[in-house]
Structure 1
Amino acid sequence: MSERKARSTATVEDQESAILAAAATEFAAVGARRANMDEVAAAAGVSRSTLYRRFPNKDSLLLAVAADAYEKGMVRLEESVVGLGPREAVVEAFATGAEMVSTDPLLSRMVLEDYEVRNVTSSVNTLFIEMVTDRVADTLRTAGATMPEDRLHQAVELHVRLVMSYLENPASEPERHSPEYVRDMAATFLAPMIY
């Protein structure tokens, strides 16, 4: 006779946090295609039925993990530019974003390596670009940008699209991945667009 698993007394929020953390680890380790929902449930300490009640399929879980990673990344970018002027903020945000993607296993997998992730998240790419653009524009305005609102949004959207392209198709020369190179590129080409 098998033992029945004790009912979890964790709150819905705690369960969801545990699921997202376990899923982030699973997606980072094996990618979207090979990720196993049973492994996620076990690592999160929830039943399969609880996992599927919160996230009916792997794609919905992947989108939730991506949204969580986005929010944490945006908070980190915003914190990295506190006290900087708008042009310095552009450089620091670009350098911090590049460093996050190259060192965080989940972000690296999602942005650079896993085409399955891109296939799922491409359906929200336009919304993602708009959300990031709005948030970065607000951050640059707080940092002191004085340019007209429409011009600020246009410049930031261009930055976001350039960053996405740069990260999805990185340069083949290793020296072009160094923090110094990234900062110099951002200072030379991106920062002058903001005033």
Structure 2
Amino acid sequence: MTTKSTAKPRRKIRNTESPEDQEQAILTAAAAEFTAVGVRRANVDEVANQAGVSRSTLYRRFPNKEALLLAVANDLYEKGMRRLEETVVGLGPREAVVEAFAEGASMITDDPLMHRLVLTDSEMKGITSAVTSLFIDMVTHRVAATLRSAGAQMPDTELRHAVELHVRLVISFLEFPASEPERQTAEAVRDLAATYLAPMIW
């Protein structure tokens, strides 16, 4: 009696791609691995296999799992920030706060990898706290710059502090959601931002 193997098929190592293509393939495979099994169980050799590169190629670019995780997080947040910036094009600063808050909440809820890294993967925190700090710092800097472009007049230090508070509130709001379902809707999130957060920006 024969049995079917459940092992994942090995992919042929590709040697003809550019370094940029190889790195993107590694990040894509790593994102899928972190999403599927979490940070602690993620297998770097499996990432290399699924990216179609050798172990030595992967380790030359990312010497350990932490470096790979930070690169994946950076790539994820860069894409997320571009989405936020596109969402608020043409809006004034207070309107931009509302839409950025609502869109940020939606991204963290809807994107499986971002949800895992920012909110639910306690194993990730055991490896490094830098990912969440990276998220807060990066988003704060970019959103503050976006609000300045939208017409915010407040001093830079005050603007940055206000935006950092907003970012931390997004994370807290999603990690510990309101008990009433009606307060978890997209419209309720937008109303909360309009009532309490937008007035902080001028």
TM-score by shorter chain over 0.5: yes
Taking the TM superposition and a 5 Å limit, the aligned residue runs for 1:18-97 are 18-97=25-104
Distance across 2 between alignment mates of 1:31 and 1:53: 23
Equivalenced residue count is: 191
Listed one character per residue, the Cα deviations across residues 52-93 of structure 1 (whole Å, up to 9, x for unaligned) are: 111111111111111111111111111110001111100111
Q: 1:6 to 1:135 in 2, by over 3 A?
A: closer
Distance across 2 between alignment mates of 1:93 and 1:22: 29
- Segments of structure 2 that go 5 or more residues without pairing to the other structure are 1-11
1:185 counterpart = 2:192:
yes
Q: Contact (CA 8 Å) 1:111, 1:118: kept in 2 or not?
A: no
Q: Percent identity?
A: 71
Q: Contact (CA 8 Å) 1:85, 1:143: kept in 2 or not?
A: yes
Distance across 1 between alignment mates of 2:109 and 2:168: 18
TM-score, reference length from structure 1: 0.90
Deviation of 1:159 (Å)? 1.2
Listed one character per residue, the Cα deviations across residues 15-61 of structure 1 (whole Å, up to 9, x for unaligned) are: 11010011001111111111111221111111111111111111111
Taking the TM superposition and a 5 Å limit, the aligned residue runs for 1:117-128 are 117-123=124-130, 125-126=132-133, 128=135
- Segments of structure 1 that go 5 or more residues without pairing to the other structure are none
Distance across 1 between alignment mates of 2:119 and 2:179: 13
TM-score, reference length from structure 2: 0.87
Deviation of 1:108 (Å)? 1.1
Listed one character per residue, the Cα deviations across residues 102-145 of structure 1 (whole Å, up to 9, x for unaligned) are: 11111111122111223334135445433322211110011111
Distance across 1 between alignment mates of 2:81 and 2:113: 15
Distance across 2 between alignment mates of 1:125 and 1:107: 10
RMSD: 1.8
Taking the TM superposition and a 5 Å limit, the aligned residue runs for 1:105-184 are 105-123=112-130, 125-126=132-133, 128-184=135-191
Which residue in 2 is equivalent to 1:8?
15
